[in-house]
Amino acid sequence: MACTDPVRLCLDWHVRPHLAHAVLEENGDRVRARCPSCGTRRTLTVSAGKDARLTWNCFQCERPELRGALIAAGVPSRCIPLSRSDERDVLAAVTAAAEQGTPADRAQTLLRVYLIALGYARWPQGAELEKLAGCCGVSRAQAYAARKAGALMTSPGTPST
Ligand SMILES: [Zn+2]
Ligand SMILES: [Zn+2]
């Protein structure tokens, strides 16, 4: 369910407080901040798009990973929904990951499905992985075991960037 607050309020209230060195620009239509994914200052922009949705971009990051990093930083996933075209790819990858699960690794399957649903194509790094595992109730040990078990996506259907 996407955020229902007006997009500029969403940007100021739901997004800006979670980002480091965040500055409102363009009369409140854009936030510029340090990128939570690559850590570079002032390379991340989150903007109120014409269709009343937020768009986000970092000069140095691939978009699927960036969305996950924003969510790990505390930005609600409903405020930065996937685009329609990304949604289709992600849905196919989520379905494949769920079907590949076994009774013995349900926690790992849940984590895979959650991360792929967030837009990840590869396992996130330590702190980000732990934070996101916590978001779906998977323990740190299970998260690292899952990462060790193999690539995040084992089938074709990597979300397009
Ligand atoms: Zn919002
Ligand atoms: Zn970045």
pLDDT of residue 155: 57
pLDDT of residue 84: 80
CA of 45 to the centre of ligand 2 (A): 10
Give per-residue pLDDT as tens, 47-99: 998 777 899 999 988 766 788 889 989 999 999 988 788 888 888 999 999 99
- Distance separating alpha carbons of residues 20 and 35, to the nearest angstrom: 8
CA of 92 to the centre of ligand 1 (A): 26
pLDDT of residue 161: 43
Query: Is residue 158 pLDDT above 50, yes or no?
Result: no
Strand runs (DSSP E) across the chain, as ranges?
23-25, 30-33, 44-48, 54-58
CA of 16 to the centre of ligand 2 (A): 16
**Vertex 90 angle, CA 145 and 137, to 5°:** 40
The proportion of the chain whose per-residue pLDDT surpasses 70, expressed as a percent, equals 94
Residue 28 · residue 8 · CB < 8 Å: yes
pLDDT of residue 130: 94
